[in-house]
Chain A
Amino acid sequence: MKRLLLKGGRVLDPSRSVDGLYDVIVFGGKVASIKASDDQASPSEAETDAGWEGIDCAGLLIVPGLIDIHTHLREPGFEYKETIKTGTEAAVAGGFTTILCMANTEPINDNGSVSRFIVRQGHDLKLANVLPIGAVTTGFKGSQLTEMAELQEAGCVALSDDGLPITDAAIMRRALEYAKGLDLTVISHAEEPALVAGGAMHEGDVSTRLGLKGIPSEAESVMVARDVLLSELTGGKLHVAHVSTKGALDIIREAKKRGVNVTAEASPHHLMLTDHAVSDYGTEFKMNPPLRAGDDRAALRAAIKDGTIDTIATDHAPHSSIEKDVEFDSAANGVVGLETSLGVVLRLVDKGELTLAEVIRAMTINPAIAMGLEKGTLQVGRDADITIIDLNKEWTVEPENFKTKGRNTPFAGWKLKGRAIRTIVGGRTVFELIA
């Protein structure tokens, strides 16, 4: 097996507070060594040895492979929207080496055979690591717990009924309790359905002007408060998906201070956009939770800085034109995000709102910790999942060139700076940007 030498790049690994010029050597699919870059040993020298493959990384950023803990791959059941193949192709093109996929497939991933199917597909593709999330309740019905141990054995790394909240507080309590025994995280899609009540966008000035039914911020924060308290009651590990409101952030921040076992994620679209984007009834701006007000967006950015938000996750949700080229009220919720997430979020670094380390931390070690994965680090001996980024690469978001089947992006036409140019999973290059 060849040794891989990543020569002379800036290595940024927030898991070990490493940021500097290093040579990374990969062997046997693992990180073999990281040494201060030595100008004497040129990559060409290494390349002359048949046992070496050298990559000149001068001027490039080397980070642990990016992790997205919230994607919808749609297979089995909705292959016209996305397949595990197109979804993981999109993932590696966006710099992701590990993705977690939600259980709202058809059939729902509430049993081991569906989980094993997903794991096998992911494995055979040899692109990104595909780790399924199993359902919390059978059939997403919210009434009976799934066989969580069986799901875990089949490869599920977390549990969620994402797409739907677990409305029955007693079931949520038992889910957190039972999952605790397996050391599995329960991911909450936090919304109080009675307050959502058919709403199509954030409730505020814009929804009033557009005559669209609003979803108040409290539809989220009420449920986050409940779930945080239940996590506190049970000691179960809670992760709050796609936090979108200032109110929910305040609750999570306070809970973390008290030592509650809770983590949280924010999506690139909530970090970048507000409800004003909906002004022309563009269904590419319709998702759940909806785009919120400017205050909420500012609070989300601040929450990455102060650690209330642990991780950036895309909630990648591909849809076809059948779901999106329709009336706003009838349009499906969701946007794609795997191929744009990094570039979009790097804008916040460019604007000086977040540091590069904060962004990379939120996309590597933090999601790994939240989901209990031995990933997200370049520690010697760990899987060589590595993303090489050209921070100066300028590019334009062109949905027609996406690897995902979904064209439902709110970022079409955005001019971005910074892009993954090589994605390495287990020591193998699975994506290389062709210039």
Chain B
Amino acid sequence: MPDTFNRKDLLGIEDLSVEEIVKILGSAASFREVAERDIKKVPTLRGKTIINLFYEPSTRTRTSFEIAAKRMSADAINIAVASSSIKKGETLKDTALNLEAMSPDCIVVRHGSSGTPQMLARYLKCSVINAGDGLHEHPSQALLDMLTVSNRLGGIEKLDGLRILIVGDVAHSRVARSNILGFSKMGAHVTVCGPPTMIPVGIEHLGCDVNHDMTAAVKDADVVMMLRLQLERQAAGLFPSPREYAKLYGLDSLKLKRAKKDVIILHPGPINRGLEISPEVADGPWSLILEQVANGLAVRMALFYLLLGGVKDGISNANKSLNPDGVRLLNLR
């Protein structure tokens, strides 16, 4: 099995095969080791240029991609575009051609409009990584969530048959979409939960069940993933008040009592403490929220490595321990 992908872009979980997901997670597990060394930098992508093109403000994801690129010795350039400054009269194709002129090897793009990374990828010769597009997908987030859960449980094969509960504004969440697709591809059973106003029509076609009763749904869950509530949705009539939302769909110790003892709690961050998740839960032993951040870095390093090829020697240390399947190595913890 070749070490790199036979694909130019990483646009969504929807396009990925199970084998590809296994390969990414396996590779990411190896990069977790790099993070635990004294010298955290590998020369793998020396001479490569990676552009972080962010049309939406994002400190976490952008920083994660930037550090990932730097740890692999690539040159990372950040371009932040305020949507207000997008020039009228310039097409997306013009933008793509302008970027291409800088001869990057990879463009990491986040955009508020769904499908924009896909459109850019059609115009660009270099690799494109989707760092979140509109309400569509956020594939690196789902990959890091899958890595976090499989690390905790001791192997990617443990995802098979696992019960995942995703709670919150699924309609407006690209994290939810990518996770539904990802976990269900790996054999997990995904349920989404939220008020009907936040569950979009036909979501079950992505591979999940729907349950509007969180108190009931939480009982069977092995993993509870809480989505961030955006308060401005109140004005659009999606929920009557933060108070009632927290009561019905916030994860507090009362609801947690009904859950399995070893339930795993995830949140893509940043957290609204006291809203979708109560402080004692966020800080409790169930929560792997900080683990998610570390795994995010590893997943993004893996994506760069797999898409950009890199110098094989540069990662030899990490590579030595990389099982061809990338599976058993996930027993890192």
Where the two chains meet, the residues of A that have a C-beta atom closer than 8 Å to any C-beta of B are 197, 203-214, 280-281, 321-322, 325-330
10 A-B pairs within 8 Å (CB atoms) are namely A203-B201, A207-B200, A208-B202, A208-B203, A209-B205, A211-B135, A212-B114, A325-B91, A328-B119, A329-B112
A205 to B200, CA, bound (A): 9
A329 to B116, CA, bound (A): 9
Of residues 120 through 146 on chain B, the ones whose CB sits less than 8 Å from some CB of chain A are 133-137
Residues of A within 8 A of B171 (CB): 208
CB distance from A79 to the nearest CB of B (A): 16
- Whether B134 pairs with A212 at a CB distance below 8 angstroms is yes
Is there an interface contact between A329 and B118, defined as CB atoms closer than 8 Å?
no
Is B135 a contact partner of A327 (Cβ separation < 8 A)?
no
Q: Is the CB of B92 within 8 A of A329?
A: no
Against A, the Cβ 8 Å flags (1 = close, 0 = not) of B81-106 are: 00000000101110000000000000
* B206 and A329 contact, CB distance less than 8 A: no
> Looking at A212, A214, A327, which has the most chain B CB atoms within 10 Å of its CB?
A327
Q: Which residues of A contact B200 (CB under 8 A)?
A: 207-208, 214
State whether A325 touches B113 (Cβ < 8 A): no
- Inter-subunit contact B119/A327 (CB<8 Å): yes
Q: Which chain B residues lie closer than 8 Å to A328 at the CB level? A: 113-116, 119
A residues less than 8 Å from B205 (CB atoms)? 205, 208-209
- Residues in chain B near residue A326, CB distance under 8 A: 91-92
Cβ–Cβ contact B136 & A211, under 8 A: yes
Give the CA-CA distance A327 to B118 in the complex, in Å. 10
Question: Is B202 touching A205 in the complex (CB atoms < 8 A)?
Answer: yes
Which residue from chain B places its CB closest to the CB of A324 in the assembled complex?
Answer: B91
Q: Hey, what's the 0/1 contact readout for B180-207 against A, CB within 8 Å counting as 1?
A: 0000000000000000000011110110
B118, B177, B201, B236: the one contacting A281 at CB < 8 Å is B118
In the bound complex, how far is the Cα of B93 from the Cα of A208, in angstroms?
26
A211 touches B174 (CB 8 A): yes
What is the total number of residues of chain B having a CB less than 8 Å from a CB of chain A?
Answer: 28
Complex alpha-carbon distance, A206 and B136, angstroms: 11
CA–CA, A328 and B120, complex, Å: 12
**A287 smallest CB distance to B (angstroms):** 16
Contact in complex: B93, A209 (CB < 8 Å): no
Residue B111 is within 8 A (CB to CB) of chain A in the complex: yes
Q: Is the Cβ of B93 less than 8 Å from the Cβ of A321?
A: yes
Q: Is the CB of B201 within 8 A of A211?
A: no
Q: A212-B134, A327-B115 are in contact. Are A321 and B91 (CB under 8 A)?
A: yes
**Contact residue among A204, A208, A322, A327 (Cβ-Cβ distance under 8 Å from B113):** A327
Separation of A205 and B119 alpha carbons in the complex (Å): 21
Decide if A211 touches B177 in the complex (CB within 8 Å).
yes
Give A281's nearest chain B residue, CB to CB.
B115
| Complexed CA–CA distance, A328 and B91 (Å) | 12
Contacts of A211 in B (CB 8 A): 114-115, 133-137, 174, 177
CB distance from B98 to the nearest CB of A (A): 14
- What separation, in Å, do the CA atoms of A142 and B236 have in the docked complex? 24
Contact B202 A204 (CB under 8 A): yes
Q: Hey, what's the 0/1 contact readout for B268-288 against A, CB within 8 Å counting as 1?
A: 000000000000000000000
Q: Given contact pairs A211-B114, A212-B114, enumerate 16 new A-B contacts (beta carbons under 8 Å).
A: A205-B202, A209-B177, A211-B135, A211-B136, A211-B177, A212-B115, A213-B135, A281-B114, A281-B118, A321-B93, A325-B91, A327-B111, A328-B114, A328-B116, A328-B119, A329-B134
CB distance from B128 to the nearest CB of A (A): 14
B324 CB, min distance to chain A CBs, angstroms: 33
Most chain A beta carbons < 10 A, residue from B89, B111, B137, B201? B201
Cβ distance A283 to chain B, nearest Cβ, rounded Å: 8
B201 touches A325 (CB 8 A): no
Measured in the bound complex, the distance between the Cα atoms of B174 and A89 in whole Å is: 45
Q: Smallest distance from the beta carbon of B113 to chain A beta carbons, Å?
A: 4
1/0 per position for B8-31, CB-CB distance to A under 8 A? 000000100000000000000000
Q: Report how far A330 CA is from B86 CA in the complex, Å.
A: 11
- Option from A197, A204, A329 in Cβ contact (under 8 Å) with B201: A204
Give the Cβ gap from A66 to chain B, nearest Cβ, in Å: 34
Q: Which residues of B contact A280 (CB under 8 A)?
A: 118
Given A208-B206, A213-B135, A328-B114, do A322 and B201 touch, yes or no (CB 8 Å)? no
Known contacts A204-B202, A208-B202, A211-B137; A322/B91 CB under 8 A: yes
CA distance in complex: A3, B222 (Å):
85
Given contacts A281-B118, A328-B114, contact A212 B201 (CB under 8 A): no
Question: From residue B92, how far is it (CB to closest CB) to chain A in Å?
Answer: 5
| Contact B114–A210 (Cβ < 8 Å) | yes
Contact residues in A for B177 (Cβ distance below 8 Å): 209, 211
CB distance from A330 to the nearest CB of B (A): 7
- Assuming the contacts A280-B118, A281-B119, A325-B93, asked whether A210 and B136 have C-beta atoms less than 8 A apart, the reply is yes
Contacts of A212 in B (CB 8 A): 114-115, 134-136
List chain B residues, Cβ under 8 A from A281. 114-115, 118-119
B192, chain A: closest CB distance, angstroms = 11
A contact residues around B92 at 8 Å (CB): 325-327
**Assembly CA distance A208 to B200 (angstroms):** 6
> Please, which residues of chain A bring their CB within 8 A of the CB of B201?
203-205, 207-208, 214
Q: Mark B210-250, 1 if CB is under 8 A from A, else 0.
A: 00000000000000000000000000100000000000000
In this complex, what residue of A is CB-closest to B114? Answer: A211
Closest partner residue, chain A, to B119 (CB atom):
A281
Q: How distant is the Cα of A205 from the Cα of B133 in the complex, in angstroms?
A: 18
A residues less than 8 Å from B134 (CB atoms): 211-212, 329
